[in-house]
Homo-oligomer: A and B are copies of this chain.
Amino acid sequence: MNTPTYTAQQLAEQFGLQVHGDGSTAIRGVATLAHAGPGQLTFLANPRYRTQLADSQAGIVVLRADDAEAAPATALIAKDPYTTFAKIAALFDIAPTRPPGIHPSAVIDPDARIAASAHIGPFVTIGARSVVGENCIIGPGSIIGEDCTLDTGCELIARVTLVTRVRIGKRVRIHPGAVLGADGFGLAMDAGSWIKVPQLGGVRIGDDCEIGANTCVDRGALEDTVLDNDVRLDNLVQIAHNVQIGAHSAIAGCTGIAGSAKIGRYCLLGGAVGVVGHLEICDKVVITGKSVVRNSITEPGEYSSGTPLTDNRTWRKNAARFKQLDALARRILSVSKEKE
């Protein structure tokens, strides 16, 4: 592979940026502000890294107009340096080519339909009535069960499982170990033993979604579990049956969403958040990491729960007092009432 080279001027034209300094400066890669060398491009977005700017050895720095004067090298001025950097970095993200065709080891049901431009890797199985669209890449070891559909340009990186009735939009990217369309956790007690509540629904994933490694999205009990367009899930996330997630929401690793919860558009859930079932979160809600949502949220904004970390000895004392909090509160209220 030949590494591509770009000048500041070329990048400015391609991405609609302003050059500050020598437009002929050329770069062949990208790196962090601290470690970029003369042949690399970097960026300054977070103000707390501003102190590193003067010492940066980078050939080109993408930054805001305010920071241009302080740049020790050629600068490209962008309104949103991080987003611009992401676009430039993509020029250097050369994915291995996966040529069209079906690996001879793959086991494809005669009732499945595979587009001619799709790549089907080794040890893949595809079940009856499933459809793989144009330019899809189905990585090694992936399993697609019955009645699944992938629209054009999807990529199952490797070892992804779509169990049954999973319908996926365009350009969806799913990372290794993810399981979509497994049975929702539906149980009913019958004479002292559990019986299974059949999970007859499916999973619907919109366009441009991304699903992290070892993440699970269960299929619905009666209706579908739904991720709208451009939903982004990190690794080890659990999406239970009949959850609905609005467009452009992003959910960080280890978060679990219980059954039939409905999450709005443009929501951001931090890592290891828990959302109780059958509640609703409106659009543009941010939940900080490890928080628990036990009630519906109707106002956009940032929400949190939990207690701060302290040394274990202090924590033990404070945690013990938490058990008395209601009694302590009553005592305060009674004392301060008497004072009135």
Contacts and interface: CB of A to CB of B under 8 A. Distances in A.
Interface of A: 30-32, 35, 80, 82-83, 85-87, 89-90, 92-93, 96, 103, 105, 107, 121-123, 125, 127-128, 139-141, 143, 145-146, 157-159, 161, 163-164, 175-177, 179, 182-183, 185-190, 192-200, 208, 210, 212-214, 216, 218, 222-223, 230, 232, 234-236, 238, 240, 248, 250, 252-254, 256, 258, 271-272, 274, 276, 286-295, 297, 301-312, 314-326, 328-329, 331-336, 338-339
A312 B289 CA distance: 11
A97 B167 CA distance: 22
B223 A35 contact: yes
Nearest to A91: B198
Which 8 interchain pairs have the tightest Cβ spacing? A93-B198, A317-B326, A302-B312, A304-B315, A254-B256, A179-B213, A318-B325, A83-B188
Copies of the chain in the assembly: 3
Given A254-B274, A306-B306, 9 more contacts: A86-B186, A157-B182, A159-B161, A161-B177, A182-B212, A182-B235, A303-B311, A314-B326, A322-B325
B311 A86 contact: no
A289 B292 contact: yes
B159 A143 contact: yes
Nearest to A220: B32
Nearest to A40: B222
A42 to B, nearest CB: 9
Given A163-B158, A234-B185, A307 B306 contact: yes
